[in-house]
Chain A
Amino acid sequence: MSAAKPVLRPANQDLALLRSYTGPGVMPMPTNPLAKALSCQVRAVDRAAGRIELGFEAPAWLSGPDGTPLQVARMAMLDFALGFVGMPLLQEGQSVSTLTLDTHPVEDPVGGGLWIATAWVQAHHGDILYVAGELSRQGQVAMAARSSLLVLTLPA
Chain B
Amino acid sequence: MISVKEHLQQLAQQPGSGPLPLSQCPEAGALGACLILADAQGSRIELGFELAEHFIQGAGVIQGGVLATMLDLALQTVARHALPPGRAPSRATLNVSLLRACDAGPVRAEAVIERAGRSVVFAQARLFNPQGQCLATGSAAMPVREQA
Segment with Cβ contacts to A, from B34-42, B53-61, B114-122: B53-61
Q: How far is the CA of A100 from the CA of B94 in the complex (A)?
A: 11
Q: A2 is contacted by which of B31, B53, B59, B92 (Cβ under 8 Å)? A: B59
Interface residues on A, range: 35 or more
List the A side residues contacting B101 at CB < 8 Å: 2-5
Interface residues on B, range: 35 or more
> From A36, which residue of chain B is reached at the shortest CB distance?
B54
Query: A50 in the interface, Cβ–Cβ < 8 Å?
Result: no
Footprint of A on B, CB under 8 Å? 26-27, 30-31, 53-69, 72-73, 91-102, 135-136
Mask: chain A, 11-46; 1 = CB below 8 Å from B; 0 = not: 011100000000000000001111101000000000
A44 to chain B, nearest CB (A): 20
Query: A122 in the interface, Cβ–Cβ < 8 Å?
Result: no
List the A side residues contacting B65 at CB < 8 Å: 72, 75-80, 101
Query: A95 in the interface, Cβ–Cβ < 8 Å?
Result: yes
Q: How far is the CA of A65 from the CA of B60 in the complex (A)?
A: 30
> From B100, which residue of chain A is reached at the shortest CB distance?
A3
List the B side residues contacting A64 at CB < 8 Å: 26
CB of B57 within 8 A of CB of A104, answer: no
Q: How far is the CA of A98 from the CA of B57 in the complex (A)?
A: 12
B18 to chain A, nearest CB (A): 22
CB of B68 within 8 A of CB of A2, answer: no
Mask: chain A, 53-79; 1 = CB below 8 Å from B; 0 = not: 000000001101100001110011111
A83 to chain B, nearest CB (A): 8
Task: Give the interface centre of B58, B72, B73, B97 by most chain A CB atoms within 10 Å.
Answer: B58
